[in-house]
Structure 1
Protein backbone atom coordinates (compact mmCIF):
# COMPACT_ATOMS: atom_id res chain seq x y z
CA UNK A 1 0.00 0.00 0.00
CA UNK A 2 1.40 3.41 -0.91
CA UNK A 3 1.53 6.34 1.45
CA UNK A 4 -1.17 8.18 -0.56
CA UNK A 5 -3.51 5.19 -0.46
CA UNK A 6 -3.14 4.85 3.31
CA UNK A 7 -4.12 8.49 3.84
CA UNK A 8 -7.32 8.22 1.80
CA UNK A 9 -8.62 4.88 3.09
CA UNK A 10 -12.00 5.07 4.82
CA UNK A 11 -11.96 3.04 8.04
CA UNK A 12 -15.28 4.19 9.50
CA UNK A 13 -18.58 5.32 8.04
CA UNK A 14 -19.38 8.87 9.03
CA UNK A 15 -22.69 10.72 8.75
CA UNK A 16 -21.11 12.81 5.98
CA UNK A 17 -20.09 9.67 4.09
CA UNK A 18 -23.62 8.28 4.40
CA UNK A 19 -25.13 11.57 3.22
CA UNK A 20 -22.77 11.70 0.22
CA UNK A 21 -23.68 8.16 -0.77
CA UNK A 22 -27.45 8.44 -0.32
CA UNK A 23 -27.68 5.75 2.33
CA UNK A 24 -30.28 5.54 5.05
CA UNK A 25 -30.03 4.29 8.59
CA UNK A 26 -31.52 0.86 9.22
CA UNK A 27 -32.94 0.15 12.66
CA UNK A 28 -32.46 -3.46 13.84
CA UNK A 29 -35.00 -5.12 16.10
CA UNK A 30 -35.28 -8.58 17.65
CA UNK A 31 -38.62 -10.38 18.03
CA UNK A 32 -38.99 -13.45 20.24
CA UNK A 33 -41.82 -15.93 19.83
CA UNK A 34 -42.06 -18.23 22.82
CA UNK A 35 -43.45 -21.52 21.55
CA UNK A 36 -45.26 -24.16 23.57
CA UNK A 37 -46.10 -26.94 21.15
CA UNK A 38 -48.43 -25.44 18.55
CA UNK A 39 -49.02 -22.31 20.64
CA UNK A 40 -47.33 -18.92 20.63
CA UNK A 41 -47.18 -16.37 23.43
CA UNK A 42 -48.51 -12.93 22.45
CA UNK A 43 -48.89 -9.66 24.33
CA UNK A 44 -51.61 -7.05 23.88
CA UNK A 45 -49.88 -3.69 23.30
CA UNK A 46 -50.89 -0.70 25.40
CA UNK A 47 -49.59 2.83 25.97
CA UNK A 48 -46.73 2.73 23.46
CA UNK A 49 -48.18 4.88 20.70
CA UNK A 50 -47.42 2.12 18.17
CA UNK A 51 -50.13 -0.43 17.34
CA UNK A 52 -51.73 -0.13 20.76
CA UNK A 53 -54.68 -2.53 21.03
CA UNK A 54 -52.95 -5.06 18.76
CA UNK A 55 -51.51 -8.40 19.76
CA UNK A 56 -47.78 -8.77 19.20
CA UNK A 57 -44.87 -11.14 19.77
CA UNK A 58 -44.31 -11.93 23.43
CA UNK A 59 -41.09 -9.94 23.43
CA UNK A 60 -39.61 -7.52 20.92
CA UNK A 61 -37.55 -4.39 20.77
CA UNK A 62 -34.69 -2.45 19.27
CA UNK A 63 -31.21 -3.86 19.49
CA UNK A 64 -29.14 -1.44 21.54
CA UNK A 65 -25.82 0.03 20.49
CA UNK A 66 -23.00 -2.48 21.01
CA UNK A 67 -25.42 -5.39 21.46
CA UNK A 68 -25.72 -8.44 19.21
CA UNK A 69 -29.10 -9.53 17.87
CA UNK A 70 -28.96 -12.60 20.12
CA UNK A 71 -28.15 -10.56 23.21
CA UNK A 72 -30.92 -8.09 22.35
CA UNK A 73 -33.45 -10.89 21.92
CA UNK A 74 -32.54 -12.49 25.26
CA UNK A 75 -32.61 -9.07 26.99
CA UNK A 76 -36.07 -8.28 25.59
CA UNK A 77 -37.42 -11.65 26.81
CA UNK A 78 -36.12 -10.87 30.29
CA UNK A 79 -37.31 -7.24 30.35
CA UNK A 80 -40.77 -7.88 28.91
CA UNK A 81 -41.62 -11.41 30.07
CA UNK A 82 -39.41 -12.03 33.09
CA UNK A 83 -37.88 -15.18 31.57
CA UNK A 84 -34.27 -16.06 30.99
CA UNK A 85 -33.42 -17.30 27.51
CA UNK A 86 -30.07 -18.81 26.62
CA UNK A 87 -28.86 -17.25 23.38
CA UNK A 88 -28.00 -20.72 22.03
CA UNK A 89 -31.70 -21.67 22.29
CA UNK A 90 -32.83 -18.84 19.99
CA UNK A 91 -33.72 -20.16 16.53
CA UNK A 92 -33.87 -17.66 13.67
CA UNK A 93 -37.20 -17.86 11.85
CA UNK A 94 -36.71 -15.10 9.29
CA UNK A 95 -35.08 -11.75 8.70
CA UNK A 96 -37.67 -9.19 7.68
CA UNK A 97 -36.58 -6.19 5.60
CA UNK A 98 -39.39 -3.77 6.29
CA UNK A 99 -40.26 -0.28 5.15
CA UNK A 100 -43.01 2.18 5.89
CA UNK A 101 -42.35 3.51 2.37
CA UNK A 102 -42.13 7.09 3.64
CA UNK A 103 -38.47 7.60 2.77
CA UNK A 104 -37.76 8.47 6.42
CA UNK A 105 -34.81 6.64 7.97
CA UNK A 106 -36.94 5.57 10.95
CA UNK A 107 -39.15 3.57 8.58
CA UNK A 108 -36.31 1.42 7.27
CA UNK A 109 -36.10 -1.69 9.43
CA UNK A 110 -34.35 -5.00 9.76
CA UNK A 111 -36.43 -7.23 12.02
CA UNK A 112 -35.01 -10.59 13.08
CA UNK A 113 -37.66 -13.04 14.27
CA UNK A 114 -36.62 -15.81 16.64
CA UNK A 115 -38.50 -18.65 18.24
CA UNK A 116 -37.56 -20.37 21.47
CA UNK A 117 -39.00 -23.47 23.11
CA UNK A 118 -36.83 -23.46 26.25
CA UNK A 119 -36.55 -20.72 28.89
CA UNK A 120 -36.29 -20.35 32.63
CA UNK A 121 -39.13 -18.81 34.63
CA UNK A 122 -42.83 -18.32 34.07
CA UNK A 123 -43.68 -15.71 31.42
CA UNK A 124 -45.53 -12.74 32.89
CA UNK A 125 -45.94 -9.06 32.08
CA UNK A 126 -43.07 -7.08 33.55
CA UNK A 127 -43.46 -3.68 31.89
CA UNK A 128 -46.57 -1.54 31.52
CA UNK A 129 -46.39 -1.63 27.70
CA UNK A 130 -48.91 -4.45 27.53
CA UNK A 131 -52.44 -4.98 28.83
CA UNK A 132 -52.56 -8.76 28.54
CA UNK A 133 -50.50 -11.83 27.76
CA UNK A 134 -51.79 -15.11 26.39
CA UNK A 135 -50.97 -18.38 24.69
CA UNK A 136 -52.69 -18.85 21.32
CA UNK A 137 -52.76 -21.77 18.88
CA UNK A 138 -51.13 -20.83 15.57
CA UNK A 139 -54.44 -21.56 13.83
CA UNK A 140 -56.54 -19.46 16.26
CA UNK A 141 -54.75 -16.13 16.65
CA UNK A 142 -56.46 -13.19 18.32
CA UNK A 143 -57.51 -10.15 16.30
CA UNK A 144 -55.92 -7.80 15.51
CA UNK A 145 -52.22 -8.74 15.35
CA UNK A 146 -49.56 -6.19 14.33
CA UNK A 147 -49.51 -6.66 10.51
CA UNK A 148 -45.83 -7.39 9.91
CA UNK A 149 -45.75 -9.78 12.87
CA UNK A 150 -48.92 -11.49 11.64
CA UNK A 151 -47.24 -12.06 8.26
CA UNK A 152 -44.44 -13.97 9.98
CA UNK A 153 -46.72 -15.97 12.28
CA UNK A 154 -49.01 -16.96 9.39
CA UNK A 155 -46.03 -18.01 7.26
CA UNK A 156 -44.72 -20.04 10.20
CA UNK A 157 -48.11 -21.73 10.64
CA UNK A 158 -48.32 -22.50 6.89
CA UNK A 159 -44.71 -23.73 6.77
CA UNK A 160 -43.82 -21.25 4.04
CA UNK A 161 -41.51 -19.00 6.02
CA UNK A 162 -38.57 -17.81 3.90
CA UNK A 163 -35.12 -16.87 5.21
CA UNK A 164 -35.71 -13.26 4.06
CA UNK A 165 -39.16 -11.67 4.28
CA UNK A 166 -39.68 -8.30 2.54
CA UNK A 167 -42.59 -6.28 3.93
CA UNK A 168 -44.03 -2.94 2.85
CA UNK A 169 -42.25 -2.68 -0.49
Structure 2
Protein backbone atom coordinates (compact mmCIF):
# COMPACT_ATOMS: atom_id res chain seq x y z
CA UNK A 1 0.00 0.00 0.00
CA UNK A 2 2.84 2.39 0.86
CA UNK A 3 4.50 1.62 -2.48
CA UNK A 4 1.24 2.40 -4.30
CA UNK A 5 0.83 5.66 -2.36
CA UNK A 6 4.38 6.77 -3.21
CA UNK A 7 3.76 5.89 -6.87
CA UNK A 8 0.60 8.05 -6.79
CA UNK A 9 2.53 10.89 -5.18
CA UNK A 10 5.28 10.68 -7.79
CA UNK A 11 2.66 11.00 -10.56
CA UNK A 12 0.92 13.87 -8.77
CA UNK A 13 4.03 15.77 -7.62
CA UNK A 14 4.68 17.71 -10.86
CA UNK A 15 1.09 18.98 -10.80
CA UNK A 16 0.93 20.17 -7.18
CA UNK A 17 2.87 23.33 -6.32
CA UNK A 18 4.67 23.52 -2.95
CA UNK A 19 2.09 25.92 -1.48
CA UNK A 20 -0.71 23.35 -1.92
CA UNK A 21 -1.15 20.44 0.47
CA UNK A 22 -2.37 17.03 -0.65
CA UNK A 23 -5.42 16.08 1.45
CA UNK A 24 -6.36 12.69 -0.03
CA UNK A 25 -5.93 10.60 -3.16
CA UNK A 26 -7.43 7.47 -4.66
CA UNK A 27 -6.46 5.24 -7.57
CA UNK A 28 -9.06 3.42 -9.57
CA UNK A 29 -10.76 3.02 -12.92
CA UNK A 30 -7.61 4.03 -14.78
CA UNK A 31 -7.01 7.31 -13.02
CA UNK A 32 -5.71 8.96 -9.88
CA UNK A 33 -8.01 11.48 -8.21
CA UNK A 34 -6.44 13.77 -5.63
CA UNK A 35 -7.71 16.57 -3.42
CA UNK A 36 -5.51 19.45 -2.33
CA UNK A 37 -6.51 22.33 -0.12
CA UNK A 38 -7.42 24.32 -3.29
CA UNK A 39 -8.52 21.93 -6.05
CA UNK A 40 -9.28 18.43 -7.28
CA UNK A 41 -6.90 16.77 -9.74
CA UNK A 42 -7.75 13.85 -12.00
CA UNK A 43 -4.76 12.24 -13.69
CA UNK A 44 -5.44 9.52 -16.24
CA UNK A 45 -2.89 7.57 -18.19
CA UNK A 46 -3.39 5.60 -21.38
CA UNK A 47 -0.96 3.57 -23.42
CA UNK A 48 -1.32 3.94 -27.17
CA UNK A 49 1.09 1.74 -29.06
CA UNK A 50 4.53 2.83 -27.92
CA UNK A 51 3.32 6.13 -26.45
CA UNK A 52 2.26 6.80 -22.88
CA UNK A 53 -0.32 9.58 -22.72
CA UNK A 54 -1.18 11.43 -19.52
CA UNK A 55 -4.17 13.72 -19.17
CA UNK A 56 -4.57 16.02 -16.18
CA UNK A 57 -7.82 17.76 -15.26
CA UNK A 58 -7.89 20.33 -12.46
CA UNK A 59 -11.04 21.70 -10.85
CA UNK A 60 -10.52 24.75 -8.68
CA UNK A 61 -12.47 24.63 -5.42
CA UNK A 62 -11.69 28.25 -4.44
CA UNK A 63 -13.72 29.78 -7.26
CA UNK A 64 -16.71 31.95 -6.36
CA UNK A 65 -18.84 29.83 -8.69
CA UNK A 66 -18.55 26.79 -6.40
CA UNK A 67 -21.75 26.71 -4.36
CA UNK A 68 -21.53 23.32 -2.65
CA UNK A 69 -21.25 19.58 -3.05
CA UNK A 70 -23.61 16.65 -3.45
CA UNK A 71 -22.50 13.37 -1.92
CA UNK A 72 -24.21 10.15 -2.93
CA UNK A 73 -23.90 6.48 -2.20
CA UNK A 74 -25.85 3.59 -3.72
CA UNK A 75 -26.55 0.98 -1.06
CA UNK A 76 -29.18 -1.09 -2.75
CA UNK A 77 -28.75 -4.82 -2.41
CA UNK A 78 -29.01 -7.10 -5.40
CA UNK A 79 -30.23 -10.47 -4.15
CA UNK A 80 -29.49 -13.55 -6.19
CA UNK A 81 -32.57 -15.47 -5.06
CA UNK A 82 -34.18 -15.54 -8.49
CA UNK A 83 -30.97 -16.77 -10.07
CA UNK A 84 -30.71 -19.53 -7.47
CA UNK A 85 -34.32 -20.60 -8.08
CA UNK A 86 -33.77 -20.72 -11.84
CA UNK A 87 -30.59 -22.74 -11.23
CA UNK A 88 -32.43 -25.25 -9.05
CA UNK A 89 -35.24 -25.59 -11.60
CA UNK A 90 -32.78 -26.15 -14.45
CA UNK A 91 -30.79 -28.68 -12.40
CA UNK A 92 -33.97 -30.64 -11.63
CA UNK A 93 -35.10 -30.47 -15.27
CA UNK A 94 -31.65 -31.62 -16.39
CA UNK A 95 -31.70 -34.52 -13.95
CA UNK A 96 -35.15 -35.56 -15.19
CA UNK A 97 -33.97 -35.40 -18.81
CA UNK A 98 -30.84 -37.38 -17.95
CA UNK A 99 -32.62 -40.17 -16.05
CA UNK A 100 -35.51 -40.17 -18.53
CA UNK A 101 -32.98 -40.55 -21.33
CA UNK A 102 -31.49 -43.58 -19.60
CA UNK A 103 -34.95 -45.21 -19.59
CA UNK A 104 -35.67 -44.51 -23.26
CA UNK A 105 -34.37 -46.91 -25.88
CA UNK A 106 -33.62 -45.84 -29.40
CA UNK A 107 -32.27 -42.80 -31.21
CA UNK A 108 -33.42 -40.26 -28.59
CA UNK A 109 -31.51 -41.87 -25.71
CA UNK A 110 -28.15 -40.24 -26.40
CA UNK A 111 -29.70 -36.87 -27.14
CA UNK A 112 -31.79 -36.85 -23.94
CA UNK A 113 -28.83 -37.92 -21.77
CA UNK A 114 -26.57 -35.25 -23.29
CA UNK A 115 -29.27 -32.56 -23.09
CA UNK A 116 -29.97 -33.52 -19.48
CA UNK A 117 -26.28 -33.18 -18.56
CA UNK A 118 -26.01 -29.79 -20.27
CA UNK A 119 -29.19 -28.39 -18.69
CA UNK A 120 -28.23 -29.73 -15.25
CA UNK A 121 -24.75 -28.27 -15.66
CA UNK A 122 -26.17 -24.86 -16.52
CA UNK A 123 -28.50 -25.07 -13.52
CA UNK A 124 -25.67 -25.97 -11.15
CA UNK A 125 -23.54 -23.15 -12.57
CA UNK A 126 -26.34 -20.60 -12.09
CA UNK A 127 -26.91 -21.76 -8.53
CA UNK A 128 -23.22 -21.76 -7.61
CA UNK A 129 -22.41 -18.41 -9.22
CA UNK A 130 -25.36 -16.56 -7.68
CA UNK A 131 -24.00 -14.10 -5.15
CA UNK A 132 -25.60 -11.47 -3.00
CA UNK A 133 -23.89 -8.28 -4.06
CA UNK A 134 -24.08 -4.73 -2.87
CA UNK A 135 -23.92 -1.89 -5.29
CA UNK A 136 -22.24 0.94 -3.49
CA UNK A 137 -20.48 3.37 -5.77
CA UNK A 138 -19.74 6.64 -4.04
CA UNK A 139 -20.08 9.87 -5.97
CA UNK A 140 -19.30 13.48 -5.18
CA UNK A 141 -20.46 16.42 -7.26
CA UNK A 142 -19.01 19.90 -7.01
CA UNK A 143 -21.99 22.15 -7.67
CA UNK A 144 -21.38 25.41 -9.48
CA UNK A 145 -23.49 28.51 -10.06
CA UNK A 146 -24.27 30.00 -13.43
CA UNK A 147 -23.45 28.45 -16.78
CA UNK A 148 -20.49 26.39 -15.54
CA UNK A 149 -21.44 22.70 -15.46
CA UNK A 150 -21.18 20.71 -12.24
CA UNK A 151 -18.35 18.17 -12.03
CA UNK A 152 -18.92 14.64 -10.64
CA UNK A 153 -16.40 11.98 -9.64
CA UNK A 154 -17.42 8.38 -8.93
CA UNK A 155 -15.47 5.91 -6.78
CA UNK A 156 -15.95 2.19 -6.08
CA UNK A 157 -17.78 1.03 -2.97
CA UNK A 158 -15.96 1.82 0.24
CA UNK A 159 -13.67 4.48 -1.22
CA UNK A 160 -15.03 7.43 0.74
CA UNK A 161 -11.83 9.26 1.71
CA UNK A 162 -11.54 11.43 -1.42
CA UNK A 163 -15.25 12.34 -1.68
CA UNK A 164 -15.26 13.29 2.00
CA UNK A 165 -12.09 15.36 1.53
CA UNK A 166 -13.66 17.22 -1.42
CA UNK A 167 -16.77 18.00 0.61
CA UNK A 168 -14.67 19.10 3.58
CA UNK A 169 -12.46 21.39 1.49
CA UNK A 170 -15.43 23.07 -0.20
CA UNK A 171 -16.99 23.65 3.22
CA UNK A 172 -13.73 25.07 4.64
CA UNK A 173 -13.04 27.32 1.66
CA UNK A 174 -16.57 28.70 1.44
CA UNK A 175 -17.37 28.98 5.16
CA UNK A 176 -18.99 32.29 6.15
CA UNK A 177 -16.26 33.33 8.62
TM-score range, shorter chain: under 0.3
| TM-score, length basis structure 2 | 0.20
Which is helix-richer, 1 or 2? 2
| TM-score, length basis structure 1 | 0.21
